[in-house]
Amino acid sequence: MAARNESPFEQCSEDSNRQDGRIYTAAWNYSSHSSFQWYSFACSIVQVGSANGHIEKVIAYIVLLISFKLFLAIDLTYQSFRSIHQFLVHHPLNCIKVVCGYIGLKSAFLRDIERLEPFLDLPLLFFPFTTATFHFESDLKAPSQFNAERYMFSCVLAAEKFVRALDKKNASSSLSHNAPDAERISYNCVGGKTSSRPFSDFLWCMLQPRGNYAIRLVGFIVIKLLRVITTEVTVDLDALMRAVQAAHECDSKTDVSSDIDSQTYIILAPTHRSYLDFILISYIAFALPELGISIPNIAAADDFARVPFMGLLTKMAGAFFVKRGKGIIDPKLETKVQSLKKSKSDITTCIEVFLEGRRSRDRRFLEPKTGFLRCLAKTKGTHVIVPITINYEVIPEQSCLTEEADGRQRYELSIFRLVKWLKSAKSGQVNLGRIHVSVASPILMKDSPVLDVKQVASAIQTLQKKSIMVSDFHINACSSVLGINREVVHESLKELGVPIWSEVRNSVSYLTSISEQWSAFLHFGHVYSNYFEGSHPKWAEWMGRNHFTTVPINEMGANTEALLHALLKTFESADKAVITTVEFLQEKGYNNLSSSHVLQYIRKSGCELPSLLLQHAISSYLEICSVRNVNDTTIPIDTTIGSCEGNFKKFSSESYGAWGYKDSGLVLNINGDGKKQVTMKGNRYKISGRPMSKLVPFLEHATEIIVDPRRVVLPKASTITISRSEISKPVLDKLLEIVSPDLDRVTIADIERVRHGTGHSQEDMYMIRCDKLKDTRFPDAVIYPSDEKEVERLVNLASEECLCLIPFGGGTNVSHATWCPPKDKDPRPMISVDVRLMNKILEINEEDLTIHVQAGITGGDLVQELQSRGYTIGHEPDSIEFSTLGGWIATKASGMKQNKYGNIEQIVKSVRVVSSSGKLWQHINSQRATFSRVSTGTDLTSIMMGSEGSLGIITSATLKMWPIPEIKKYESVILHNFEDGLLFVKDISKLGALKPASVRLLDNIQFRLGQSMRSNNESWLKAMKQKLAMTTFSLLVDRFEPEEMVCVTITLEGSRSEIELQMREIRTLASTYGGVCAGNDVGKAGYDMTYAIAYIRDFAMTYGFLAESFETFVPWSKVRSMITATKNRLKREHQDRALPGNPIISCRVTQLYDDGVCVYFYFCMNFENVPNPSATFAEIELAARKEILTQGGSLSHHHGIGKHRAPLMGEVNSDDLREVFMNLKKAIDPHNVFGVANGSYSYKE
């Protein structure tokens, strides 16, 4: 068959032995669609040759660049090219041979040159094909599905095999000196400390034939990173090329013009142990273009999409994001796969997917997911699935994954964590040792009515398991955890035929954590699982069933037998620890045990086995023993009696059985990303409507208790079961007469009686939610007076009818102050007097800066009224939205801004009181004037401060007020630890007039709680700004430990000059103690969070947690010892009762004084499966209060005493002083109308 040459060919045929200048060949007819370019052929030779070590890739590409680009650009003739070739190639090599021969040198280099000589003239032979196009006439026509490019590549692969067969020694010498199992596997080193490039990595990335700029940038980063953190990264190149060739062979049978239903696609299915996995596989495709596959489109977890910069870069590099765990094929995923299959490319479409779905936390093989396989099948086509096993010595995030496997907090991917890890890597703190990518035989999957994707997934994982490689690192980990000689492990693996990495010294240091050692062993632990199928099937399942052939038990060697014996001994130790702990907890009264509860006390028993073993042993034992898991428990609510609806609507906006407003409150849901997300309902607060995805993880991490959003442990109250009101009809009629004609202001409705007979302590909320009310005494009626005259009539009626009146303000007390006295102590009918309708401003004196106001006004209303007039009283307790002026006086309250405005005793100038002795007030002849100070004996205001409703009803008060400050500013300071924080705030307390209005020191737990409540729904710009700030903070101030650092939030109010001076002092003091000013936003967020954070306690109760705060004043000299001793006491009390989970114990300093501080303690415990949990909590709180008193703290700073702390008043007041107070009460309230018995006026125990 003759060829027609469209350009002169004679020039290159002169050296030919052929006389007629014609080429004879077997070829397809030119009309066939079977052409290819010689440049593509040359590139394929370079790629395959370099991949297998025959030639240096970079040098070969330079030659191609010169031959096919440069020479063509200058339009060289064949004669010119031949002259250049002689000058640049033949002459230098001949000179080298002459010199070597003259001096008698026969080096390996010279032998290589002699071996290369036959190939030196190949460029001359190929040159005509680079400058002309040839068409052949033939009787042969290529089939329609024939693909010349793929045929050409198959020829290159065949030629490479032929060359390797001619010189096996040369091929083997190209292998890395660390080749694993070199007789079985040929592989290529693509990264790590042992890899090198002939020129800069950046230039190498830019010269790669495939990849956009994002991919090249990622490639450059990966090269640098792998060289720092790994010894070497290798890939089983032969197996991978065989898999790719199989895909090409399938594709060669397909018509290139056919639709996606008949096309072939390569699916790379690697194991998933690290976030590095998908980057690694993509990098291999990028670094080895000779494989002939496209850089894979990665089905990445949607976690990456939410990470600033990383998400964008990943998407630009070809990733698409998958939402896991839906149970059905995601339509968006199906659409994306369809678009990838339809994309036009000169090479086969390649997709990378992790069938395990999520990373294995302990290196065990997870059950494969089938959703993506179903999606592939549904979108048609032939799929060549390549099982890949990524063998790590050390996993990059091993410590985090181990903690997660142990049941601790799951760490989310974030740019902050990534930057921190990269910083550690750069400083040499990260060493992963070696990584080897093993490739198994591909699996062909076509859509078929009988296709079983579960079977396909199982087959893929079986091949992944067979492809594991075990190194000396893994062997040592196994030796350590099982307590056997490493040689036993090594020989056992040989007996079972498990591939072993050749030994490399100093590849990576050994692990010290037993959990991490177990994870390293479990890398290959599945090879032993079959031997436990008969005796311990649960443990066999846990290790990962081994579906490939193993050595029969009767044929296994002595080393394998020794290893199995040690492994069985470990399993039995775990089972024994579980049984012992379950029996211990059952003796403590816990019958419905949870896994986390059992695990907690196994740890405390001193068991050294890792949690990942113990968790399996616990779940197996609880299942076998049919011990019902606590997740199935609910607390019964009697729905047959009563209703949670009241008949008085004035204050119906408040919640019943929970803090705050009905339209507000924290709600837990699972968002679209599968995260547990908390949202504040309504729009009253700064955080309202903003999702918070870190709050529940914080709670879970701190307590080691998993929160299930789908199960409510303790629902909000739905029924009320209480005893009937015992008020007589005549008395009820007289009460109605007082408020006539507004008869709705007297009620005996159940919900009103319960609300007015309780406060907001955890006992109150718990018994309301559980409807454990029938044995509790509640007011027999509730009355709402609107002025002082109605109060007078009411008190007179109580004296006449022998009634007991209990004053009620906002009901925010946590001291049981509104509880009715026991019937055996006081059998009289109980009337709750709600003063919140007495909420009017009676007079404002703007010259004297005083305001006279009724005592029933709430703090929120008072603030609003004063702000509208340009004033403030500066008193802002945390309960300000609901608490009343009268309640502030009666409890001797304190506000967060007391540094500037004082406590309530400094703000109140005078009071008016109605008691059974009459109307009480002072300075009747002073024309309503108020005095800053008088010397007229004991004053009424001082007597009523802290009286807690036991002396009379406060009807009104005159208060000091201030103009609204010119400027309000916020600041925050981050310090290393709580001790530095104490020193810092102590120095602030000495600033005198420059002391900021509010200074709060949050310990580490409080600080992290506040951070967890930050919204994740902020603007992109603000989120990036915060991420950048945190990253910069991490890089520049790495001495701050996340588990120790504390925060001081500061509120400044005053003139501009005053605040400038204060800020200067704050910065100076912060610098003195190594602190960093974190700015206005953090400080303001802490201030804004004050009111919203109060909802957390009742939210936590819904999901099984009881929490409460209690405060004290303590002198500076005792603050450290008191805080430490109290926290330790709380921990001890919690542990002594074997309560589930870890307690959350924290504190904050909220008010500063010259001689000491107010300290708030916060205690939270899980109560699932705890008998009578509210009483247990109260016992622990009582123990903590006793400890506070022992350590020199006060019984209360501003919450008051009520009945809750009254039993401890004997340690506060002497018996004689108590008698003085009781006699004072008799004088002021001779008929004991106000027999509520709180604080100093309580019943003597």
Q: Which of 1160, 1162, 1241, 1243 is catalytic?
A: 1160
* Interatomic CA distance for residues 407 and 413, integer angstroms: 18
CB contact at 8 A, 918 and 955: no
Token look-up 């009539």 returns 793
What sign does the CA torsion over 875, 881, 885, 889 have? Answer: negative
1057 CB burial (10 A radius; 0-12, 13-18, 19+): exposed
β-bridge partners, 507: none
Owner of token pair 């032998």: 111
Q: Are 853 and 788 in contact (CB under 8 A)?
A: no
**How many angstroms from the chain centroid is the CA of residue 1186?**
37
**Backbone φ and ψ of 174, nearest 5°:** -80, -10
Give the Cα separation of 667 and 677 in Å (integer): 8
238 within 8 A of 437, measured Cβ to Cβ: no
H helices then E strands: how many in the chain?
46, 31
- Torsion sign over Cα 649, 650, 654, 656: negative
* Residue 470 burial (CB count, 10 A): 23
Tokens of 12: 């290159």
Three-state SS at 289: helix
Q: Strands (DSSP E) along 455-578, which ranges?
A: none
Burial of 493 (0-12, 13-18, 19+ CB in 10 A): buried
* Phi/psi of residue 596, nearest 5 degrees: -65, -35
- The count of other CB atoms within 10 Å of the CB of residue 933 is 6
Mention every residue, 6+ apart, whose C-beta is less than 8 A from residue 576: none
Contact 298, 352 (CB under 8 A): yes
Clarify whether 392 is annotated catalytic: no
User: Per residue in 1148-1181, is it b (16+ CB within 10 Å) or e — as a string?
Assistant: bbbbbeeebbbbbbbbbbbbbbbeebbebbbebb
Q: How would you class 99 by CB atoms within 10 Å of its CB: exposed for 0-12, middle for 13-18, buried for 19 or more?
A: exposed
Nearest to 1087 by CA among 1051, 1122, 1121: 1051
Q: Rounded to whole angstroms, how far apart are CA atoms 973 and 980?
A: 11
First to last CA, the chain: 120
User: Pairing state of beta strands 230-235 and 433-439?
Assistant: parallel
Would you give the distance in Å from CA 559 to the centre of its chain?
A: 43
What's the one-letter identity of residue 213?
Y
Instruction: Tell me: cis bond preceding 180? Omega within 30 of 0 counts.
Output: no
Look up residue 964 and give its two tokens. 């609204």
Distance (Å, rounded) from C-alpha 798 to C-alpha 448? 87
Can you give the C-alpha Rg of the chain in angstroms? 40
In 610-748 the beta strands, taken as DSSP E runs, fall at 666-670, 676-680, 746-747
Sign of CA dihedral 567, 569, 570, 574: positive
Element (H, E) at 953: strand 953-960
Summarize the chain as % helix, strand, coil (round to 5): 45, 15, 40
In the structure encoding, which two tokens stand for residue 1131, read together? 């921990």
Which residue is listed with tokens 């009697």?
A: 638
Catalytically annotated residues: 1160
